[in-house]
Every structure is written in structure tokens, then in C-alpha cells.
Amino acid sequence: MDWGMKNRLARIIKPDGRTVMLAADHGYFLGPTSRLENPRKTLEPLIPYADAIMVTRGVVRTSIDPISNVPIVLRVSGGNSIIGEDLSNETITTSVKDAFRINASAVALSIYVGAKHEHQTLANLAKLVDEGEEYGMPVLAVTAVGKELGNQDARYLALACRIAAELGAKFVKTYYCDDFQKVADSCPVPLVVAGGKKLETERDVLQLVYDSVTNGAIGVDMGRNIWQNDHPVAMIKAVRAIVHDGARVDEALAIVEEAKVKEEV
């Protein structure tokens, strides 16, 4: 890897080999997602605790202070919507040149393995990797969700993650599942785990984080389970405690319980 590529990745993945990425790119196909209606208001208090933030260029330019030093993982695929015909019908929506203008530390796009537009999304990834390699921009591949996709199934996720790595993604975002270690063991690049829809309890969220990092993930790229919580700052601090400080679930949960008692966010 060239210096620039290494340096960008090192901004996201900390010296302990771990990362807590804050995902807030949902609007690119979900529109004004609950509690992310005003991205600046939601994200500002969380940014100091995020190792990187995953957003679109629209949110970067309107809602993140340019003097903020948070590394940007720029969502560069889209062209679909939750009410459209097929979520897998994605294209590259932002050039690598614009990613450099934004000073992104990585670019991210979704791949839809097993879906109608599988080929198109894998070709998007290959093209983005080619450009990324030319200029030193790491690519994060997101193994996307879809009605027909097995996003809880280790065999399916291992397939999607491995294909992403083979096509040159520098790291991959995927879902946690039973036998996750098998997914991690068969993927030669680092994995970060998505949170998914808001879980019932904070314990469930923190257990997911704990299970992810103890079964081969280098961290999380989590959104709704942080900013849809009534105590988002406490939640991201609790996630950090597990990912970076080796806290157990009960220890991390105490951070959230304490915030509830003090009525902090």
C-alpha cells in the first residue's frame, strides 16, 4: 500500500486495530430517517466520540463543520429509494475527485450479492477500486440488505464479504450472524459490523458489539442503535468502551444506566 492509502486507513482504524464508525448515510435511500431528520443536530454531539463518520456528500457539505477533524467515509453509491422498484439498482453517485475535494478518508458503496442487479453493483465496486488504487483512496464495500438476501446467514455473508475483498475492497461492512467467526476467517480484509434496525434493549446492542469484536470484527459501523436511542452520547461511549477498552457488556451498560440516572444524553 502506498503512503496515502495507508494514512487514510490509519485515520479510520486506530492504532489498536479497532474502529467505532458512526453510520449516518441512511438518507441516501431512506430520506428523513427517524431521529436523523436534522443531521447536524443529531451528529454534532456524537462526532467527538466517532473514529469516523459515514455520510453522503450532501450531509458533509450541509451538516458537518469543515473544521471538524472527524475522518469521513463517504457514501458514493445510490440512485435507489425505499419506495423504488429494486433497491439493488445502484450506481456510483459521487466521483473519487469529489471525495478528494471533501478530504474523505475512504469511499463506501453497497454490493447486492444474489440480487437482481448483482453484476452492476459488483462492477461498480471494481471500478471504484480501480480509481481508488490509482489515487490512494480506500474503498469500503457494504454487503447490502435486501428482502431476498440472507443477511443473517453466515454462508451468504461469507460469500458477499469474500467477493468484496477479492474485488479489492480495503475493508467490508457486514452484518453479525451465528458463526460470524467463519465469515471473518474467510475474509482477508477487516470487517466492521452494522447495527441494523433499532434493537429492543441497550443490552442487546452492546451484546452485538461485544460478540462482533470477540468473533473477528475490528469494530462497528453503527447508526440507528446509537442515534435513535434516547441517550445517544452514552450509547456511543458504551460502544467505544467495548471496542477500544475491552469492556464487558455489563461494564458498558453501566455507562448508559448512569446517563439515564443523571438524565444526560
Q: Binding ligand R5P by CB under 6 A: which of 137, 177, 194, 242?
A: 194
Residue nearer to ligand R5P on the CB measure, 199 or 262? 199
Q: Binding ligand R5P by CB under 6 A: which of 27, 71, 195, 219?
A: 195
Any catalytic annotation for residue 262? no
Residue nearer to ligand R5P on the CB measure, 161 or 222? 222
**Total residues binding ligand R5P (CB under 6 A):** 15
> Which listed range, 21-29, 181-189, 203-211, 256-264, lies at the site for ligand R5P (CB under 6 A)?
21-29
The cell for 169 is: 475492497
> Which listed range, 22-30, 62-70, 184-192, 207-215, lies at the site for ligand R5P (CB under 6 A)?
22-30
Does residue 232 interact with ligand R5P by CB under 6 A?
A: no
Q: Binding ligand R5P by CB under 6 A: which of 223, 247, 252, 253?
A: 223
- Of residues 6, 97, 173, 182, which has the active-site annotation? 173
Residue nearer to ligand R5P on the CB measure, 110 or 215? 110
Q: Binding ligand R5P by CB under 6 A: which of 26, 231, 237, 240?
A: 26
Alpha-carbon gap, residue 245 to 20, rounded angstroms: 12
Does residue 23 interact with ligand R5P by CB under 6 A?
A: yes
Tell me which residues are annotated as active site.
Answer: 173
The footprint of ligand R5P (CB under 6 A) covers 23, 25-26, 54, 110, 142, 144, 194-196, 221-225
